[in-house]
A and B are shown apart, each in its own frame.
Chain A
Amino acid sequence: DTAVSQTPKYLVTQMGNDKSIKCEQNLGHDTMYWYKQDSKKFLKIMFSYNNKELIINETVPNRFSPKSPDKAHLNLHINSLELGDSAVYFCASSLKPGENEKLFFGSGTQLSVL
Chain B
Amino acid sequence: QQQVKQSPQSLIVQKGGISIINCAYENTAFDYFPWYQQFPGKGPALLIAIRPDVSEKKEGRFTISFNKSAKQFSLHIMDSQPGDSATYFCAADDTGTASKLTFGTGTRLQVTL
Cα–Cα, bound, A56→B100 (Å): 8
In-complex Cβ contact of A48 among B87, B96, B98, B108 (8 A): B98
Q: B49 in the interface, Cβ–Cβ < 8 Å?
A: yes
* Closest chain A CB from B63 CB (angstroms): 17
Closest A residue to B101 by CB, please name it: A100
Number of A-B contacts (CB under 8 A): 57
Contact of B41 with A108 in the complex, beta carbons under 8 Å:
yes
A100-B34, A101-B32, A101-B34 given; A42·B43 CB < 8 A: no
- For chain A, the count of residues having a C-beta within 8 Å of the partner chain is 24
* Closest chain A CB from B27 CB (angstroms): 15
Q: A12 in the interface, Cβ–Cβ < 8 Å?
A: no
Please, which residues of chain A bring their CB within 8 A of the CB of B101? Answer: 45, 100, 103
Residues of B whose CB lies within 8 Å of any CB of A are 32, 34, 41-46, 49, 87, 89, 91, 93, 95-96, 98-101, 103, 105-106, 108
